[in-house]
C-alpha cells in the first residue's frame, strides 16, 4: 500500500482534529455548564466550576487524552495524525515533513476544529455557547499575555518532545505512541489548564473562537496570538532540542 494522497491525508487530519475539539473542548464546555450557578467551595475558586478544583482539569485532560489516543491509533497510519498546526510546523522545520504539504494540513486541521466546535454547539444547545463558550481558551484572571504564552510554550514543548521520542524516532518501541501522547496532553492540561486553558494547539483554539462568533458566544479573538506564538515556539524548540540531544 502506497502513501495516501494529500487529499485523503487532509481529510484524516480534519477528522482527527474535529474529534479532538468535539470531545476535548466539549468536555471543558460541559464542565462549565454543570458548574453554572453553583457556589464556589472555597474563597480560592480554584478550577473551572470551583467545586471540582483540580479535578475539573483532570477530567478535561482525560477527555483530551482518550480522544487523542483514539485518533492517533485510528488515523495515524493515514496522515501521521499531527492534529495540530504547531506539530506540523515543527516537523517541517526539522525537515521531517514537506513544507509543500504543511499548508494543506494546517488548513484541514483548522477546518476540522471549526466543524467539531460547530457540531458540538448543535449537539449541546445554546448553553454550550453562552455558558460553556464551547470550551474556548483564554488567560485566567491575573494571568498576563506573557505568562500565558510561556505556559503554552512550555506545555507544547513537553508534548512535542514526547512526540519526537515515541512517534518520530525510529528507535521508539512500537504501539505506544497514541497512549503516551494522549496521556501527556492530559497531564499538561491538568497542571497548566488554569493558567491559559492549556490549548497547546492553534487549531484547538481557533475552532471554538470561530463557532462562538457564529453562534453569539464570547469574542476572544484578541487572545488568539497567545495560542499561535506559544505552541509554535514550544513545538519548534522541542523538535530542534531533541535533534541536538540525539545527534550522533
Q: Please indicate, yes or no, if residue 60 is contained in any of the structural domains.
A: yes
- Measured CA to CA in angstroms, residue 31 lies from 163, 195, 228 at distances of 28, 17, 25
Domain that holds residue 178: 6-245
CA pair distance 131, 120, nearest whole angstrom: 13
Q: Please indicate, yes or no, if residue 146 is contained in any of the structural domains.
A: yes
What is the pLDDT tens value at each position of the chain, 248 positions in all? 678 999 999 999 999 999 999 999 999 999 999 888 766 555 545 565 555 678 889 999 999 999 999 999 999 999 999 999 999 999 999 999 999 999 999 999 999 999 999 999 999 999 999 999 999 999 999 999 999 999 999 999 999 999 999 999 999 988 999 999 999 999 999 999 999 999 999 999 999 999 999 999 999 999 999 999 999 999 999 999 999 999 87
Q: Percent helix, strand and coil across the chain, each rounded to 5?
A: 75, 0, 25
Q: For residue 109, with 0-12 CB atoms within 10 Å meaning exposed, 13-18 middle and 19 or more buried, which class applies?
A: buried
**218: its cell numbers:** 464570547
Q: Please indicate, yes or no, if residue 164 is contained in any of the structural domains.
A: yes
Q: Please indicate, yes or no, if residue 1 is contained in any of the structural domains.
A: no
Degrees (nearest 5) of the Cα angle 175, 114, 116?
Answer: 55
**195: its cell numbers:** 493558567
- Residue 94 makes CB contacts below 8 A (sequence gap 6+) with 239, 240, 243
Domain count, the chain: 1
Contact 65, 178 (CB under 8 A): no
Q: Please indicate, yes or no, if residue 26 is contained in any of the structural domains.
A: yes
CA pair distance 230, 247, nearest whole angstrom: 26
The CATH number that applies at residue 33 is: 1.20.1080.10
Q: Please indicate, yes or no, if residue 218 is contained in any of the structural domains.
A: yes
Amino acid at each position: 500500500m502506497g502513501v495516501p494522497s494529500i487529499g485523503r491525508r487532509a481529510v484524516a487530519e480534519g477528522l482527527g482534529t474535529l474529534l479532538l475539539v468535539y470531545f476535548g473542548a466539549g468536555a471543558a464546555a460541559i464542565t462549565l455548564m454543570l458548574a453554572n450557578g453553583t457556589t464556589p467551595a472555597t474563597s480560592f475558586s480554584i478550577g473551572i466550576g470551583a467545586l471540582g478544583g483540580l479535578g475539573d482539569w483532570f477530567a478535561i485532560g482525560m477527555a483530551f487524552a482518550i480522544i487523542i489516543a483514539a485518533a492517533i491509533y485510528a488515523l495515524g497510519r493515514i496522515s501521521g495524525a499531527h492534529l495540530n498546526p504547531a506539530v506540523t510546523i515543527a516537523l517541517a522545520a526539522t525537515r521531517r515533513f514537506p513544507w509543500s504539504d504543511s499548508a494543506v494540513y494546517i488548513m484541514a486541521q483548522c477546518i476540522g476544529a471549526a466543524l467539531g466546535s460547530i457540531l458540538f454547539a448543535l449537539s449541546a444547545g445554546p448553553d454550550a455557547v453562552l455558558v460553556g463558550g464551547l470550551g474556548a481558551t483564554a488567560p485566567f484572571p491575573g494571568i498576563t499575555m506573557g505568562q500565558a504564552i510561556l505556559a503554552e510554550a512550555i506545555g507544547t514543548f513537553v508534548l512535542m518532545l514526547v512526540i519526537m521520542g515515541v512517534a518520530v524516532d525510529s528507535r521508539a518501541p512500537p504501539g505506544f505512541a497514541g497512549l503516551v501522547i494522549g496521556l501527556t496532553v492530559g497531564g499538561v492540561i491538568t497542571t497548566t489548564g488554569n493558567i491559559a486553558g492549556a490549548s497547546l494547539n492553534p487549531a484547538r483554539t481557533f475552532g471554538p473562537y470561530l463557532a462562538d462568533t457564529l453562534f453569539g458566544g464570547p469574542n476572544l479573538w484578541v487572545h488568539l496570538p497567545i495560542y499561535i506564538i506559544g505552541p509554535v515556539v514550544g513545538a519548534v524548540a522541542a523538535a530542534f532540542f531533541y535533534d541536538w540531544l540525539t545527534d550522533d
